[in-house]
Amino acid sequence: MTSFASSWLRRPLPRPAARVSVVCCPHAGGSAAFYTAWARLLPPHVELVAVQYPGRQDRLTEPAAETMDALAGAVAEALRADRPDREHVLFGHSMGASVAWETALRLERSGAGPRHVVVSGRPGPHHQRPGTVHLRDDDGLAAELRRLDGTHAALLDDPEVRAVLLPAVRADYRLIETYRPDTTARLHCSLTALTGDRDEEATEADVAAWRSATSGAFGSRVLPGGHFYLVAQVERVVAAVLDVCGASAPAVHPVLP
């Protein structure tokens, strides 16, 4: 793996002999660590590879990506440099769903397309809407995170934590709220769309709109929960991802320390 790829990709449980990489793209304000617990839910021939965006955790001093083109282009470049002999299945939640789709488009154009893309908690390109959350003050931004219930409230109450967390959150919201997808673009690989049955950000109709984002096979699934349904439904989400990998989960699911 090149130094460029290693700056973008994290492997919580390295599996050099794996044949498939499940590449996970985080939500707005999220980090690669969000997917750490998934690693031990995968069989030995499947490796979890989590994308680490700049501007957070060990990349805190780097400027956050300003546009989807810059972000997806960098992720695609990192994946092309990282073990090109492997099959890739891309997964993304919320903003990460658009990152995964845009990355897959770039990989396909370079002849290194993924086996499958799984998008979660995000409307299809035709249903995506601009937003203004990134224009709010810090209290307003924190209120949005509380509403979505994807960030521990105690962290948002700590001024020092907020000072570190919110700049990346604001940058990500600016990126995704000003992003305008090419609604004529189509993947060639198959695509699966997931959402929670109480997710107001991505209704069942919203995620069904991903059907027009690929010329390949399409499937969708609704699971119990709100926008961050995948936290409580992690084993069912991972099972859905493994299904498109042609694999099944291990019989035992130990928890990462």
Domains of the chain, start order: 3-128+183-244 (3.40.50.1820)
Alpha-carbon distance 214 to 146, whole Å? Answer: 33
Average pLDDT, the chain: 91
CA within 13 Å, CB half, 236: 14
* pLDDT tens sequence across 149-203: 766 667 787 888 888 889 999 999 999 999 999 999 999 999 999 999 999 999 9
Scored b (16 or more CB within 10 A) or e, 127-139 reads bbeeeebbeeebe
Mean pLDDT of 108-123: 96
CB-based contact 117:101 (threshold 8 Å): yes
Task: Give the rounded percent of residues in the chain with a pLDDT score beyond 70.
Answer: 94
31, 94, 98, 120: the catalytic one is: 94
Q: What is the pTM of this model?
A: 0.92
User: What pLDDT, on the 0 to 100 scale, is given for residue 147?
Assistant: 81
Q: pLDDT by residue (tens digit) across 34-90? A: 999 999 999 999 999 999 999 999 999 999 999 999 999 999 999 999 988 899 999
The predicted pLDDT at position 255 comes to 40
Is 94 tagged catalytic?
yes
